[in-house]
Amino acid sequence: MAKRDDHRHGRVKKRISRDSSRKWAPLNTGFMLTSIIGFFISALYVTQRFSLKVGIAFSVVFFCMFLASIISMGRASPDAQLAARPIR
């Protein structure tokens, strides 16, 4: 009979430490622009021309892209985006 702390045959739960020193970088502005334009094209053009299901699927994808860009803007420092650009 296995003891309670014996993990030879069971799953071992590991504690994952959350590293608070993560550095977030904002997504490119082109990513946000692509998500906005793609959402409107999907919602207005694709749903009318092709299929409602395909238009909704594309709209959901582009909306998720937009949410990702908003989240990355909120978490990143403004210096991270400026540091990524080369100085001319």
The pLDDT tens digits of the residues spanning 23-56 come to 666 788 899 999 999 999 999 999 899 889 999 9
Within a domain: 16: no
Within a domain: 13: no
Annotate 55-67 with b (16+ C-beta within 10 A) or e (fewer).
Answer: beebbeebbebbe
Domain carrying residue 55: 29-82
Cβ partners under 8 Å of residue 44, min gap 6: none
CA distance 6 to 4: 6
Mean per-residue pLDDT over the chain, rounded: 78
CA distance 78 to 26: 8
Q: What's the structural domain count of the chain?
A: 1
Within a domain: 22: no
Within a domain: 46: yes
Within a domain: 5: no
CA distance 26 to 75: 8
Within a domain: 71: yes
Within a domain: 49: yes
**pLDDT at residue 87 is higher than 70:** no
Is pTM beyond 0.75? Reply is no
